[in-house]
Amino acid sequence: MSEPAITVTDLTKRFGDKTVVDRVSLSVERGEIAGFLGPNGSGKTTTIRLMCGLLQPDGGSGRVLGHDIQTERGAIKREVGYMTQRFSFYEDLTIEENLNFVAGLYRMAGRRRVVRETLQDLGLYSRRDQLAGSLSGGWKQRLALAACVMHRPKLLMLDEPTAGVDPKARRDFWDEIHRLAADGLTVLVSTHYMDEAERCHRINYISYGTLVARGTVAEVVRDAGLTTMVISGTRAGEAARRLEGAAGVDQIAPFGTTLHVVGRDGAALRETVARVAEETGTEAAPAETSLEDVFIQLMGDAQDNMS
């Protein structure tokens, strides 16, 4: 089996006296779409920048595309495509002119051909003369993606690539990512969207600089060991008040006319929910635990550890 695209062990980065990435170990197989999730400020961008060769780690070791992350950062940078959270291009240039500009900046050989192929590959060819500034959010995202795959990287790092983009455009963007991965590209993508996490082959969840969960979505949900019950009925609001702080109840979230009740202690949760349903004349039923339930729980646990 070939070496994974990314394998890092105990990756650590400090800014001043603050440890922003704290002994993170992860691996990403070639051709895999790996999701990177975690609350704001948890260290995702910094970890991505360490793995792109843009930042020097303070500790840890690892290889990205076969290159050492401590000593071969230049080689990594050349073989990785990195789409930053706030990508930019010239609004008063067309799509094609923007890509030409990027290709020129990197002194790419066969510039005209590379730009044309990229336009075709990413479905931008018919819009090539459109001004970048006049594009919708989804097409801007696609242009940014085009700019970072133009040099044919083997690994793509995408930092919240679809923030603020509508669901249809996000779905199209993800179809594109799957197409690129099917062609052999490895993708690491950070996101706050649960539906996007579910489109990854595997996910990694980081909290306060520490990796706290990883695996397929099903594995992460299973490993969290949570029990979920749903309460419905006209007095669901009253049920929520009674469930607050009760035995076994860790989370209560209204979803339309129903309540999602989640907890780690399954037996205690079921008993409490049955009692409250009885008292309030509501219906209680077991439900599947969602990835979002798991992430809310992980965030709560991390806050408890910090306080």
Ligand X SMILES: Nc1ncnc2c1ncn2[C@@H]1O[C@H](COP(=O)(O)OP(=O)(O)OP(=O)(O)O)[C@@H](O)[C@H]1O
How many residues in total does the chain contain? Answer: 307
Nearest residue (CB) to ligand X, 49 versus 128: 49
Structure tokens at 165: 């983009």
Tell me how far, at minimum, the Cβ of 141 lies from ligand X, in Å. Answer: 16
Chain positions contacting ligand X, by CB under 6 A: 15, 20, 38, 40-46
Distance separating alpha carbons of residues 203 and 219, to the nearest angstrom: 10
> Residue holding tokens 């959270």?
85
- For residues 251 and 228, give the distance between their C-alpha atoms in angstroms, rounded to a whole number: 9
Bridge partners, residue 15, by sequence: 18
The nearest distance, CB 157 to ligand X, in angstroms, is 12
Minimal distance, residue 12 CB to ligand X, in Å: 13
Specify the residue, 39 or 233, whose C-beta has the smaller distance to ligand X: 39
Taking the complex as a whole, the smallest distance from the CB of residue 10 to ligand X amounts, in Å, to: 17
Q: What are the tokens at 39?
A: 């609350």
Nearer Cβ to ligand X, position 160 or 172?
A: 160
Closest CA to 243 of 289, 283, 281, 275: 275
Between CA 142 and CA 264 the distance in angstroms is 41
Cα 30 versus chain centre, distance: 17
Q: Token pair for residue 100?
A: 């030409």
Nearer to ligand X, 85 or 257 (CB): 85
Q: Which is nearer to ligand X, 209 or 263 (CB)?
A: 209
Min CB(222)–ligand X separation in Å = 25
